A and B are shown apart, each in its own frame.
Chain A
Amino acid sequence: MDRRTFAVSLGTLAGGAATVLGTGAFSSVSADRNFDVVVSGDANAYLGLKPHPGPNGAYADTTTQDELAIDFTGSNSNIGGDIAGGKGINANALSTFRNVFRITNQGTQDITVDVDPLLFVETDNFPSSVLAVLLVPALAPFTLTPGDSQDFHTIAFSFEADGEADVSIDDQIEILAEEA
C-alpha cells in the first residue's frame, strides 16, 4: 500500500466512525417491525389452565371459547368419550376426583396465583338437600416458577333426604395470577 492509498483508507475509516457516532444525533427514525400477538386458548396461554392429562381430566371440559370449565354435569362434552355415560355425582355420597385440572406458569417469571372460591355449597331446605364441592389443595395464594404446575382435585358431597337430586351448582372460579 503506497502512502496515498493508506491516507484514503484512513480517511474512509474516520469517515465511517463519524457516521456511526453521528447516528446518536438523529431526530427521528421510522421503521416497521413485526408485532404479533395472539390470544390463545386457556391450555396454551402464558397462564396455562387445562384439564389434567390423567383420566379425571375429562371432568374438566373445554368451552367453545377454548376456556377451562369444570363440568360434573350431563353437559360435559367428554360424555360418551372418556366419560362412559355418567352425568353427575352420586346423591347421598362422598365423591373424590383426583387430578381434575392443572394450572401452569407458561410465562417468563414467577407468579403468585390465587384461586377463589375453594368451596361451593348449594342447599335447598337446608339441610335436607346439600351439595358441596371443595377444590384441593386449599392454597391461597401459591407461587409458580416458569414451567411449574399445580394440580387440583375435587371432593364433592351430596345429601339428599328424599334421594332426589334437588340442587346443583352453576358458579365460577376466579383465578388470579400476578407477578410474584
Chain B
Amino acid sequence: MPPTLADYIDASEDHDESDLEQIPEDRRSDVNAQLDTITPE
C-alpha cells in the first residue's frame, strides 16, 4: 500500500494533522495519486 500525504505528515516531526486539513482535498488527492504512481511495489 503506497504511503499517502497523510502518512508523510504523520511521520514528520515538524508538521501535524492540522497542516493536512488546510490543504484542499483535491490537491491532496492529486498528490496521493502521484504517490500511488511512482512508489515502487
Contact = CB atoms under 8 A, between A and B. Distances in A.
Nearest to B4: A138
B14 interface: yes
Majority-rule SS of B interface residues: helix
Contacts of B9: 119
Given A98-B38, A138-B3, A118 B8 contact: yes
Given A155-B34, A155-B38, A138 B22 contact: no
A140 interface: yes
A121 B14 contact: yes
A138 B36 CA distance: 12
Nearest to B21: A127
A119 B8 contact: yes
B34 A96 contact: yes
A55 to B, nearest CB: 15
Contacts of B39: 136-138
Interface of A: 94, 96, 98, 117-119, 121, 126-127, 130, 134, 136-138, 140, 153, 155, 157, 159
Q: Which 5 A-B pairs have the closest CB atoms?
A: A119-B8, A127-B22, A138-B3, A119-B12, A94-B30
